[in-house]
Every structure is written in C-alpha cells, then in structure tokens.
Chain A
Amino acid sequence: MRSQFICVDALNGDGKLVDDYTPTAKSGATYHPLTGNLPIKVATTGVDVFYADKQALFDVSLDIPDRSVTAFIGPSGCGKSTFLRCMNRMNDTIDTAKVTGSVRIDGEEVNDRSVDPVVLRARVGMVFQKPNPFPKSIYDNVAYGPRIHGLAENKEEHDAIVETALRKAGLWEEVADRLDLPGTALSGGQQQRLVIARAIAVNPEVILMDEPCSALDPIATARIEELIDELRENYCIIMVTHSMAQAARVSQSTAFFHLGRLVEYGPTEEIFTNPKDTRTQDYITGRFG
C-alpha cells in the first residue's frame, strides 16, 4: 500500500504530501488551524474505504471547520463522494463497502457500534446530485423528517417547522400557496432547494452536499450557491463539486483528492492561487481531470 503511494508520488515528481497541514484529530473544541477562529466540527483520521476487494480511499485524514463551507474537488472516481458518504455512514447501505479509520463529529466516533445511523443521519443531513424529492406533496416532503424523528407534537408545530425550513431554503415565497403540489412537479432548481429544506427540517449540524448543482442550469445554480452561502452562518457544510469555479466562489476551504488520496487541503484562496502540489496545479489549471 505504501509502495503504491510512493509510486504515484514519484510519477508526479513530488515527494511531499500536504506538508503544511497536519490533522489535529483531537476534540471538537479545538480551533481549526486553517481558519483559526472556527472550531473543528468533523475530524477524520486514516480513513480507508474498500468496495469488495477494491480500495477506493487511502488513508484520508482531514479536519473540517464548523460554520463554513468545505469543498472537495478532484477528477471523477477520486473518492471524494465516497469520503463524503463516510460522514453519515451512507456507505453502510452498500453491502460490499467496508470503512476503516476514524470519523468524529464533535469528537464522537461515527463508526462506533453504539452509534445508530438513524440518529447520526438526523444530525448529518445530505443533499444529492440529482434532486430526489419524494413523490409526495411539498409539505410532506419537508415534514417527513420531523415526523419520523418525532420533532413536532402537533399540526401547528409541523406547520411551523415546514415554514421555517422552506424559508431558510429560500423556497417559501414560491410555494407557500401550493404546499399540496407534488414535490416532483417543481423545477429542477426548486426541487433541489426543497431537498435542502427537507434536510434542514430535522435541524442537522452538518449538511453534506454531493454535487448539488451538477443537474441544474446556471441560474438555478447561482440561486443554490447563494443559499449555501447563507446557510454557512449556522451549519457546517461539506460539498463535493466538479466545478472549480463553484468551489472558488462558495467554499472557505478546499480539499483536492486524486486516485483515492487526499493530495492537498487548505484555504480555498490558497489552493486556487498558490497550490503546493503540482497535481493540484495541473488539475485547477485544467491540464487533467
């Protein structure tokens, strides 16, 4: 494993890997070294993921700050989505997937046997690449999470949660008078905001976004990006994106993945203006990927 690692590095003519960043891998109270004033929300150490016999992720260690947007970039198949899915244990749903290493949210081990993935996923919301509202009404889409987790006692509380979530997702003005409409009848951008509202409704701490804008047109994308920027105030947002421009616009810190490895991680500005690794440079300048 190690030899393969060196081999890849040798190919790129660079012996060093992320030299200025060492994961702290400690408690949630620690402040993040990259952003300074923000506490660490998610800390990972030595995460390996295997799909059957094939290793998809190699020894990824990385800390993610709270109340900011962290972007994962990299060419297709580099493991960024796989890594994202480690944080709410969505890899559990794939029979052949095996995750080793440590993922901690606020210092609490996610992969621990005692952690119920149902509770975890209520804390860590997820937004997928393709908008996937339930084929139910807009209201039911948003109210589903609170209902199964028992967050509301009665109809009034449900209504309040739905309205708040839709307002936060910037969709309330557009759908307030037609909450009975099926969620699938909305436009693509609206659907994605509905899905974000659905995630927000259960009051998560972390929101994972797996290429949330790749199926949307530029105007809808701009709308979602604006929304992500607003949500940053209250949530720890981790997004996977194929668009480097989007990463540059929206995120505060960026991690670059390549062939299942974390190549470089730093403040977004630095990654885009002054990458340390030649692979990062090649990727962001469009030489591969």
Chain B
Amino acid sequence: MTEFKRAPQISDAVARRLAQRHRAEIRFQVYGLSAIGVAILVLLILLGSIGYKAVSAFSAHTLTLNVVIDPDLADPRGDRSESSLRRGSYNRMMQTALETEFPGVTSRAHMRELFGLYTAVNAAGLLQKVVKSPDLIGETVTYEMPISDDVDLYLKGRSVEERFEDVEAPLSLIEHEDGVALSSPAPVFEGFLTLVREAYITRAEAAEARASAAFDRASLPGIDAQTAEAERANAQRELRTGELWRERVTRLNTEGLTLQPDGPRLLVRVNEGVVRVTRLSADGRSAEGEVVLPLENLAQARHWTRWILETPASAARLTDRQIVWTRALEERGFVKKRFNTWLFTRADSREPELAGVLGSAIGSVLTMMVTMLLAVPIGVGAAIYLEEFAPKNRWSDWVEVNINNLAAVPSIVFGLLGLALFINGFGLPRSAPLVGGMVLALMTLPTVIISSRAALKAVPLSIREAALGIGASRMQTVFHHVLPLAAPGILTGAIIGLAQAFGETAPLLMIGMVAFIADAPSLSLGGFLEPATVMPVQVYLWSSGVERAFEMRTAAAIMVLLGLMIILNAFAIYLRRRFERRW
C-alpha cells in the first residue's frame, strides 16, 4: 500500500486571511438580511396601522326612514313642476318620520337632538328621488341614508365606553311630575356609587401626591426663596383640590349623588323603556330619573338592565338621549351596518359620513392625463434628441447638467413657476386639473428625460451598427431598433415619474388645488378647467378635519391611494414584461 498523498499545505497566513474573509462575508450577509428585515417590519407596521384605522371607514351605519311624501310640503305650488318640487321641504318630511318613531319627544331642545341623528344635507337625495319620479308624492318612501358620523362611531364602539348589566331584583316605579322614582329593596345602584366614589378617591389621591411632591421640591437644599414659596403655594392649592374631592366622597356617602354630564352616567332599561338617572340615594337602593324612552307600564319589574356610560357626553359628541334613540332605532331595524358606498361614490363633504374620494380620484385622473400627455412625449423626445442626435459639446453638457439639477429642485418651486406662468401669465383658471397637470408635468420631465436617456444608453451599440450598416438613417435606426429595445426602460422611468406626480401635494398648493371641492369634476373635456382636487390633497385635507370620523376616512383614502399606486406599478411591470426583448 502506498501512503496517501497529503493535500498541498495552505500557509498559516493564507488560512487566517481565508477565515477572516469568510467572516466578513457572513457579517455582510447578516447586515443585508437585517436591513431587509427592518424594512419589512416597518412596512408591515405602516400598512397594519393604516389598515386597522381604515377598516372602520369601509363600513357605515345607515338610517332608514319611512318618509311620507306630503303633497303640501313636497310641492308647495301644487303644479308638480320641477321648480316647484325643488322648493319642497324634504327635511321636514324626514323629521316628521323620526317624530312618529319617537312620539314622546316634544320639547324643541330634545327635537333638535333627535334630528341630529342625521345630516340635513341628506334631504337633497330625497329631493332627487321625488324629482325623478313625481308619482311618489303622497306615497311612503323608504329612504336609506348614512347616519351621523358621531352616531356611526358610537355604533362601531369607537367613542363611548358602555356597559350593560342585567339585574334580577325587584324594581318599583312611581311616576311623578318630573319623571320617575325607582326603588328596590336591594342595593342595586351600590355598584355605580362605588364606581363614582373610586373615581373621586383616585382624583383626591392624585392631588395629594402632587401636593407632597411640591412640598418635597420646596424643601430641596439650595432652592431659592422665591421658587420655594411658589412651590409651597402650589402644594397648598393641590391640597385644597384633594380636600374638595374628599368632601365630595363624604357627601356621596351621606346625601347621595347627583349625576353630572362630565362623569359616568346611569341609564335604566326597564319595561321596554329607558330612564336616565339624575339622582341616587346614598344607600344605593333608590333613584330619581327622567324618562327618555317611554315605558310600557309602571308595574314592578323583576328583570331590568343597568346601562352605564363611562365616557363623558362631551367627548362622545353625543347626548345620552341620542344614544338611547340610536339603540332603539337599531332594535327596531332602522339602523343597519353596510359597506360604505358613499366613500367611493361621492366627492368631499363637510359631513364625514357623506365625504368620499370619488371627486379627488376623478381630479387625479384628469391631472395625470395632462401630466402624461405632456411629460412623456416631451421627455422621451428630449431624451432621444439629447442621446442620439445632439452633438456632444459644451452647450449639450450644460443642458444635461441643468436637467439633472431640475430633478433635484423642490417640488413647491414648480408650483410657484406654475402660478406665475400658467395662472398669472396665461390666465388659466385656478384649481384646474389642466394647470395641475402642467405643473406636475414640469416636475416629472427631468425624471422622464434622465431615465429615458439611461434606457437609450443601455441599448447595445451592435444594434445601432447593424441598422446603420445596412443603410438605415439615424432616425430609422432610432425609431425602428433603438426605441423598441429601450421602451421597457423608458416606460418604467415614465411610470415612476407619474407615480411620483400622482402622490404630489406641494406644487398643487400654489395653484389652488388644495381646496374644498364638493362637486366631482366631470369626466369630459370641460372637466379639465373645473375646480378639482387630487387624492393626496384629499388625504391632507381630511387629516386636518376636526371630526374623528375623518381620521378613519384619511386612512381609507390612503389605502385607496396606495391601491391605485400598486395598480399603476403593476401595469408598469406588465408593460415591461410585454415589451422586453432579448438580443
């Protein structure tokens, strides 16, 4: 047997370096992977938070009313002409429908609350219906409309923290002048008193803690006399606050509780009606209250429900009565949850429940059409000239440097240019998609030119030589051979540029496209000159809306915007695949 030959020895220095090289490579891969991981995580958080908020905007609660079309109200002149029908008081008919639903509501203030469940703007929809078919006059029309945004939020459980507690204890009801007196042999309201008492104690303790902290600061060594004095005064003030809360606890324990609208409220659902409790006795056995929803009878009840609203009425932007009526309407089947079609079929509105993205989507489409028709041909043409025909000299170098500079110019500057040139110079209307599209085209041009030039440059010389060698002119070479091969790259660049323009807000600010536009521009030639807004601007406008419902609609609009972006990019990838050719 011969001995095995040993593998050639690697010198120690090489071996050490080899290990080092392997480690460096692994380290680099770990960096790369963690970078991708962080990116994906952030993206998921972003999409998750937007999606979570947006989901509730994609559904909406509706209020269905059986409206009697009163001939006197609908047709004041009585000739059934359109002008007469348009003068009708349709909101009054809707109000009547609600009134018949809640006959107990008589005071003006309560009626105003009742009619606050929907927006009067909805009367326009009913008007349209009647104008379309005047035969409806005298009939009963089932009219479905979005419920007020605050009610919608409440029904989605987003604004009011409430609790229903079923009680098995006798409850006697005695009616008197101002309402009803409730009493039970068991301490049925003790729990609610405890809830309020604990809230008072928590506040007292918090004030006392703040006082002791202020005292500590006042006795810190080295503190100057003036600051110490101020801290001491502060502590005294906090102590007094604490005492006040303690006093309230004592009063609650001895005299009972008068319910405040800024604290938790108690409703009692009994005998098919609802009583809003105004006063509780200290022993938790009896209460005074006003009837919100009429009771069927005043018999002693064994099964009834405590309905506790913990959120202050001011924060919910709903009164207790409205909450009760909403639940009653829901039980009677007049309030339903359905897909929010208004979000996609309506333009902007002051009322969140009636606000939609359609107007801004049409504005975006019109604007992008102008941008595309201007930026793509001009940009690609400029790129072809500069890349294929222009002599390489100082002049063309200068042009190239300036195009690269333009790509880095802040977009708002293009807005200023558009304002000065198109609106003040050419006298074009403000807020028009035509002007917006022209401004965005200016902004997109450098991107299109640069990416198109890169795509043209990437076409191999051999193809140009082949065409020129056979006797094609320069233009034939470019248009028959170079351009088709560069098309995927040019398209990608153009669509990236357009996507950028699609999401742009700043330059449109200057030309008045950041505006409240309640009518969607028409999808016609005239639409290019009508006032419009675009989707990112709509997102911006809604994000500064006061109503909380706008917060969700903002997220929903962002989702729609992102969805359109994804469609646009998918289209770009499709075009690329389609035109891609190997050589």
Contact = CB atoms under 8 A, between A and B. Distances in A.
A41 interface: no
A195 interface: yes
A202 B468 CA distance: 13
A125 B465 CA distance: 11
Interface stretch (A72-80, A116-124, A264-272): A116-124
Looking at chain B, what size class is its interface with the partner chain? 20 to 34
A134 B469 contact: no
A202 B473 CA distance: 15
Interface in B445-496: 460, 462-473, 476, 480-481, 484-485
Given A95-B391, A95-B392, A134-B481, A128 B469 contact: yes
Contact of A132 (B466, B472, B581): B466
B583 A184 contact: yes
Contacts of B473: 118, 148
Interface of A is mostly: helix
A144 interface: yes
B469 A126 contact: yes
Contacts of B5: none
A199 B469 contact: yes
A125 B470 contact: yes
B481 A93 contact: no
B468 A121 contact: yes
A126 B469 CA distance: 6
Given A132-B462, A135-B582, A148-B476, A90 B470 contact: no
Interface in A103-141: 118-122, 125-126, 128, 130, 132-135
A134 B471 contact: no
A239 to B, nearest CB: 14
Nearest to A89: B468
A121 B469 contact: yes
Contact of B466 (A95, A134, A149): A134
B466 A128 contact: yes
Nearest to A126: B469
Contact of A88 (B462, B469, B485): B469
Contact of B462 (A119, A130, A149): A130
A184 B468 contact: no
Interface string B415-459: 000000000000000000000000000000000000000000000
Nearest to B583: A135
Interface in A187-233: 195, 198-199, 202
A33 interface: no
Contacts of A275: none
Given A135-B581, A148-B476, A195 B391 contact: no
A121 B473 CA distance: 10
Contacts of B467: 134, 144
Contacts of A202: 470-471
Contacts of B472: 118, 144, 148
Contacts of B481: 134
A132 B470 contact: no
Contact of A128 (B391, B462, B583): B462
A184 B485 CA distance: 14
Given A95-B391, A128-B465, A132-B465, A145 B583 contact: no
Nearest to B476: A148
A195 B465 CA distance: 12
A118 B466 contact: no
Contacts of B471: 118-122, 145, 148-149, 202
Interface string A145-178: 1001100000000000000000000000000000
Interface in B22-79: none
A156 B480 CA distance: 23
Given A134-B481, A135-B581, A184-B583, A93 B464 contact: yes
Interface string B483-517: 01100000000000000000000000000000000
A199 B582 CA distance: 22
A121 B466 CA distance: 11
**For B460, B466, B481, which residue has the most chain A Cβ atoms within 10 angstroms?**
B466
A39 B480 CA distance: 38
A195 B460 CA distance: 16
A199 B465 CA distance: 12
B469 A125 contact: yes
A52 B168 CA distance: 103
Nearest to B392: A95
Contacts of B464: 93
A60 B480 CA distance: 36
A90 B465 contact: yes
**For A125, A133, A135, which residue has the most chain B Cβ atoms within 10 angstroms?**
A135
Given A93-B468, A134-B466, 17 more contacts: A95-B391, A122-B470, A122-B471, A125-B469, A125-B470, A126-B469, A126-B470, A130-B462, A133-B466, A135-B583, A144-B467, A144-B472, A148-B471, A148-B473, A148-B476, A199-B470, A202-B471
7 closest A-B pairs (Cβ-Cβ)?
A126-B469, A122-B471, A132-B462, A121-B471, A135-B581, A132-B466, A145-B470
Interface of A: 88, 90, 93, 95, 118-122, 125-126, 128, 130, 132-135, 144-145, 148-149, 184, 195, 198-199, 202
22 contacts: A88-B469, A95-B391, A120-B471, A121-B469, A122-B470, A125-B470, A128-B462, A128-B465, A130-B462, A132-B460, A132-B463, A132-B583, A134-B463, A134-B481, A135-B484, A135-B582, A144-B467, A144-B480, A148-B471, A184-B583, A198-B470, A199-B470
